[in-house]
Amino acid sequence: MGARGAPSRRRQAGRRPRYLPTGSFPFLLLLLLLCIQLGGGQKKKENLLTEKVEQLMEWSSRRSIFRMNGDKFRKFIKTPPRNYSMIVMFTALQPQRQCSVCRQANEEYQILANSWRYSSAFCNKLFFSMVDYDEGTDVFQQLNMNSAPTFMHFPPKGRPKRADTFDLQRIGFAAEQLAKWIADRTDVHIRVFRPPNYSGTIALALLVSLVGGLLYLRRNNLEFIYNKTGWAMVSLCIVFAMTSGQMWNHIRGPPYAHKNPHNGQVSYIHGSSQAQFVAESHIILVLTF
Asked whether residue 270 falls in the same domain as residue 153, the answer is no
d(CA 89, CA 97): 16
Count the neighbouring beta carbons within 10 Å of the beta carbon of residue 70.
Answer: 17
| Greatest C-alpha distance within the chain | 143
Asked whether residue 114 falls in the same domain as residue 237, the answer is no
In terms of average pLDDT, the best of 161-165, 242-246, 285-289 is 161-165
Asked whether residue 234 falls in the same domain as residue 180, the answer is no
Asked whether residue 271 falls in the same domain as residue 236, the answer is yes
| Domain termination residue (choose one: 158, 186, 214) | 186
Is a pLDDT exceeding 80 seen at residue 167? Answer: yes
Of 14, 115, 128, give the one whose Cα is nearest residue 60: 128
Confidence (pTM): 0.62
DSSP letter for 147, please: S
Asked whether residue 203 falls in the same domain as residue 275, the answer is no
Tally of domains in the chain? 3
Split at pLDDT 50, 70, 90, the class of 190 is: very high
State the angle between helix axes of 175-186 and 100-117 in degrees (0 to 180), rounded to the nearest 10: 60
**Tens of pLDDT, residues 23-67:** 555 666 666 666 665 555 567 778 888 999 999 999 988 999 999
Asked whether residue 163 falls in the same domain as residue 88, the answer is yes
Domain extent at residue 284: 227-288
Asked whether residue 88 falls in the same domain as residue 113, the answer is yes
Asked whether residue 52 falls in the same domain as residue 157, the answer is yes
Asked if the structure places residue 126 within a domain, the reply is: yes
Under 8 Å between Cβ of 252 and 169: no
**Tens of pLDDT, residues 246-270:** 777 776 667 777 776 666 678 888 7
